[in-house]
Chains A and B, each alone.
Chain A
Amino acid sequence: MYEEELHRLSVKLLDEVEYIIGYTSGTLPFRSRPFLCRKKEEVELLTFDHFSGSNLTRYLLSKDLREKKVAILAKGCDARTITVLLREGQIKRENVVVVGLPCYGMVSLRKLEKHFGSLRPQDFTWHLDTFTFQGKTQSIGPFLENTCQRCLYPNPPLFDYLVGSRVEYVPRERWKEDSLKRLEEISSEKRWEFFAQEFQRCIRCYACRNACPLCYCKECFAEAQRPYWLSPAATRSENLFFHAGRALHMAGRCVECGACERACPLEIPIALLPLKVEELVREHFTFEAGVSPDREPPLLTYRENDPNEFIK
């Protein structure tokens, strides 16, 4: 999508920045991968498609890039991440040029495989919010990543340049699928059963944590020895503690990009917990992380005149 425009802009940007953090096509079909574009000759390699799911803002925090001036491609959720990182003092605004990408949602390879069996890239033609397979054009909606099916911000709320044209408002009902809502409708016993079963499978490889651009603690509570919060044994209860702990650390900070869920090698729907926490934050504080840069994040702000007693 928008490649021509992206390449033209990138050539211009490389006069101003050292690197462009973007996507390029992967070594396997249906995969795009993070790519560090350094030279004008490499600009042609930049791509953006329905498989560019990685949240690239993670790389802004890497040792090598932190102090450099870089441009970064940002979908709606990625731009929200940048806003949170700025607010939390992790990056400097003058070091980052944000290239906004309006996004129709990322397609889940797992959902495609489940529906079509073994896939050949040449059988698919991708358009903006539809694709053609064997002559039939259909909506990408049912094949979107779970978090993309709930997305409220297809257009980046923060950008210096915008490539492509803005996505018209996408009503949530459009995809008729919401993994979180489905879970809220069942009884708490059933829900417990669901989570117990899912988290039992976790092997604690920490792909979710490392894929998350907002999980940037130098030492994660899950690996800390002093204090010793949780055992490294991947048992159901310890795993549940890790995922619940992570969800709570993300309260009011999670931008619902789904990077954690996509990263999971065992396909555990990890994002459900942070998503629910964000629903609660929305409900109680009318706040969404990374949407309005000037609003104070409710769970990271201390006030002497806080109306709640327990905080004092």
Chain B
Amino acid sequence: MRGLTMRVKMISQEQFRKRLAEKENHLAITEKAQDVHRQFLPPGIKVVKTPKEILFPSWKEMYRFFFKERSWEIQEVEEKAFSDPTFLLLLPCEARAVVEVLDTNFLREDYRDTDYARRRARLNLVILGCPAQHPTCFCHLVGGSPVWRDGKSAFVLPWKEQFYVENDEVLFGEGDPVNTQEKREIESWEKALQEKLPPPLSPDFPEKLYAHFEDPEWQDIAFRCINCGACTFLCPTCYCFDLTVDGKLRGSMLRTWDSCMFPKFTLHASSHNPRPTGKERVRQRVMHKFSYFPIREKRYGCVGCGICREICPVNWDIKEAVERMVKRIDSRCDIN
């Protein structure tokens, strides 16, 4: 039987809080997860805005260079002793962003990002089930759910004054076994929860959206966007970056976050810009997450966490944009 059953246990709320407090120096929690589970958490856990803050920081030196005796010398950047947390408590949507999108992009077979790989290998995800849906989230639309987990990472669910824990060995310690009765109850609760969720986008949406590239609707969808990078920088799945040579005779090669919302993102050296206005840039953001990436990788590039909707200075809303395109697609199938 060994290896066939999933490692599950029940722990008390007290144990949950105590163990987290003990491991405080090795822990971080995302802001969203903190909002949902505040009542169970000990004070003082490091808070990060998104998992990207640890796995793919906003800037990094790739290497240093200097000019010496008529030639260029390249220097590796010494890795500081890692002080980043080894456990990250996060919500199912954010975990999906890591497992399904960031990992897919940075840990490809043909190209493996060494920095990301090293950080990812050190980080254990602890997925906290998310019973309360916030008005900004829409994980159901992109195939997620408030109890999504990858089956490998630890998963924790508040359950009747206790916590139901899957796949954890070190963080929470020993727990009580989960009896068949409880197991059945949790399963049927989860099933009922899944059934209550509104339906996801239709499986052919990415292909259909692709065909609507030239739809005039994009002009109006893009109107209010002011083309700042708040949404993309705080998006847990957005992974675009830029390289900058910082310094002349000595300096470093910098890798920094970049955003498809910025005009310079696609500006060519010839001064031609294939995405000259907000319309093209907004379309790119929606298309990449809901058409190009899904067609290529068979999964959405958006996890429906809703952080972009929450922080947008002008209430530009990606869910609304997608719903508008769904309507367009439904109303006239033959755009071409």
Contact = CB atoms under 8 A, between A and B. Distances in A.
Interface of A: 26-29, 31-36, 54, 58-59, 62-63, 203-207, 209-211, 223, 231-235, 259, 262-263, 265-266
A231 B259 contact: no
Interface stretch (B22-30, B65-73, B139-147, B315-323): B315-323
A223 B246 CA distance: 13
Given A205-B232, A210-B226, A234-B59, 18 more contacts: A28-B136, A28-B315, A33-B224, A33-B314, A36-B220, A36-B223, A54-B313, A62-B278, A63-B277, A205-B234, A206-B262, A207-B229, A207-B230, A207-B313, A223-B262, A232-B244, A233-B59, A265-B313
Q: Is the interface of A mostly helix, strand, loop or mixed?
A: loop
Contacts of B224: 33-36, 59
B226 A211 contact: yes
A233 B309 contact: no
Nearest to A27: B317
Contacts of B228: 205-207, 209-211, 263
A62 B219 CA distance: 13
Contacts of B233: 203, 205, 265
Nearest to A202: B58
B230 A232 contact: no
Contacts of B226: 58, 207, 210-211, 263
A232 B241 CA distance: 11
Q: Which of A29, A207, A234 has the most CB of B within 10 A?
A: A207
Contact of B246 (A28, A209, A233): A233
B229 A206 contact: yes
B277 A263 contact: no
State the 10 A-B residue pairs at the shortest beta-carbon distance, nearest first: A263-B313, A265-B311, A233-B59, A33-B315, A210-B228, A207-B228, A205-B229, A26-B315, A207-B230, A265-B230
B135 interface: yes
A231 B58 CA distance: 13
Given A210-B227, A231-B254, A205 B264 contact: no
A203 B50 CA distance: 12
B187 interface: no
B292 interface: no
A232 B254 contact: yes
A53 B72 CA distance: 52
Contacts of A31: 315
A263 B227 CA distance: 12
B49 interface: yes
A232 B242 contact: yes
Given A207-B228, A210-B227, A232-B244, A27 B59 contact: no
A259 B224 CA distance: 15
Interface residues of B, number: 37
Interface of B: 49, 58-59, 135-136, 220, 223-224, 226-230, 232-234, 242, 244, 246, 254, 256-257, 259, 262, 264, 277-278, 309-311, 313-317, 319-320
B250 to A, nearest CB: 14
A233 B256 contact: yes
B260 to A, nearest CB: 13
A311 B20 CA distance: 62
Given A27-B315, A27-B320, A28-B315, A205 B59 contact: no
Contacts of B135: 28-29
B173 to A, nearest CB: 33
Given A209-B228, A232-B256, A266 B49 contact: yes
A224 B335 CA distance: 40
Contacts of A223: 262, 264
B315 A32 contact: yes
Contacts of B317: 26-28
Nearest to A213: B226
Contacts of B58: 203-204, 233-234
A251 B127 CA distance: 48
B314 A54 contact: yes
Contact of A205 (B136, B259, B309, B314): B259
A296 to B, nearest CB: 30
Task: Identify the interface centre among A54, A203, A209, A265: most chain B CB within 10 Å of its CB.
Answer: A265
Contacts of A209: 228
A233 B259 CA distance: 14
B320 A231 contact: no
Nearest to A34: B224
Contacts of A26: 315, 317
